[in-house]
A and B are shown apart, each in its own frame.
Chain A
Amino acid sequence: MHETGIAKRLLSVIHPMVDEKKRITRIKLRFGELKMVQKELLETAFSILTRGDKRFRDTILEIEIRPVRGKCNICRKEFDIKNFEMRCPFCGETSIDITGGYESEIVEMEVEDV
């Protein structure tokens, strides 16, 4: 549901960097699982927002989803958190810090001269 907002933000980062003489062939994005980004919805939002803009003709979105990571405050071990099980799998403690899973990054983009 928040994919349109994300696509808008993404374009606001990219727009100032590319003029009409360039075409973006590929954009690599990275999201943490906690951001709950739906790949298809983001692609749809992106394609609607860039419709008619030659700079974004056939641009490929490469989307990487990172797992949720936790660190136990008691045994200090780090682990992947699956199914929102907010508990240390090693010692069972519930005092854990979320150390990953909130990423929303534009990693790189590939442009060509037209």
Chain B
Amino acid sequence: MCDECGCEEHKHEVITLEENILKDNDVRAAENRAFFREKEIFAVNITGSPGSGKTTFLEMLIPHLGKDNIAIIEGDLEGDVDSCRMESLGVRTVQINTKGACHLNAHLVSHAIEKLDLNGIKYLFVENVGNLICPTFFDLGEEMRIIISSVPEGDDKPVKYPPMFASGNMLILTKIDLLPHISFNREKFRDELSRINPNMPVFEVTSRKPEMVIPVAEAIKKQSKEKR
């Protein structure tokens, strides 16, 4: 007779597993991280909503870090719009199409790296799929995660998507030229951020004043030196 339910015909067995379901990604991410460190490449994961200005931010940033020092991995469901934008600036770029997946993972990034000539590269930017939820949970092997949030998205984004905002090392508030036209409460936004991620530096930019990205470039350079 079965011990578990007392039935006559079934034999039950409990198998203890204690296994991390998402360990595959963690293992791959650790491999990527070790690879970047060995090559002295500072890897940055760029996340944010669709349309928050991730690609425009990169376009602004590139001249201040030097286009020949940078490689870029673009992640999108479909299309090569973003990689074309990067290539037109003369930056080594590879496009990943996730074909429906809402986030990049460490495995996809490890294959994208194989396609890039990393000779002389100091910074690798991985522009994630636009999404404030799923990319949070997938470590790509980066040293730094930059979250892009734009004024038109509203000041309530940190309250609504706290895991993402808690996971960042730097936040860029974009499109600040729109502040006079939109009811975006800067203090409320910053207060929420300081509750969820008290030590995360926040920078404000607009593509109308590209020089506003200079302090961001300086902060990235400083961080990368500290990691080396």
* Chain A residues within 8 Å of B, Cβ to Cβ: 1-2, 5-6, 9-10, 13, 17, 25, 29, 34-36, 84-87, 94-95, 103-114
A-B pairs, 9 with minimum CB distance: A94-B198, A84-B162, A112-B10, A2-B134, A104-B22, A84-B196, A113-B11, A9-B21, A108-B16
Asked if residues A84 and B17 are in contact (CB atoms below 8 Å), the reply is no
Mind listing 13 A-B residue pairs with CB under 8 Å? A1-B131, A2-B102, A2-B133, A25-B12, A36-B137, A86-B198, A95-B199, A106-B19, A107-B16, A108-B14, A111-B12, A112-B2, A112-B10
User: Is the CB–CB distance between A109 and B19 below 8 Å?
Assistant: no
User: Whose C-beta in chain A lies nearest to the C-beta of B135?
Assistant: A2
Which B residues are within 8 Å of any A CB, using their own CB? 2, 4, 10-22, 24, 101-103, 131, 133-134, 136-137, 162-163, 166, 195-199
Which residues on A sit within 8 Å (CB–CB) of B21? 6, 9-10, 13, 29, 104-106
- Which of these, A2, A10, A29, A107, contacts B137 with CB under 8 Å? A2
Closest Cβ–Cβ distance, residue A93 to chain B (whole Å): 9
| In the complex, chain A residues whose CB is within 8 Å of the CB of B133 | 1-2, 36
If over half of B's interface residues share one DSSP class (helix, strand or loop), that class is named, otherwise mixed; here it is mixed
The answer to whether B22 and A6 have CB atoms under 8 Å apart is yes
Report the bound CA distance from A87 to B125 in whole Å: 30
Give which listed residue, A36, A104, A107, A113, contacts B163 with CB less than 8 A. A36
Of all chain A residues, which has the CB nearest B103? A2
Where chain A touches its partner, the secondary structure class is: mixed
Is B18 in contact with A107, judged by CB distance below 8 angstroms? yes
Q: Which of B2, B14, B22, B199 contacts A109 (CB 8 A)?
A: B14
Distance, CA A35 to CA B24, complexed state (A): 16
Residues of B within 8 A of A87 (CB): 195, 198
Q: Find out whether the CB atom of B195 lies under 8 angstroms from the CB atom of A112.
A: no
CB pair B11 A112 closer than 8 Å: yes
A85–B196 CA distance with the chains assembled, in angstroms? 6
Cβ contact of B12, chosen from A36, A85, A108, A110, cutoff 8 A: A110
Contacts of A34 in B (CB 8 A): 163, 166
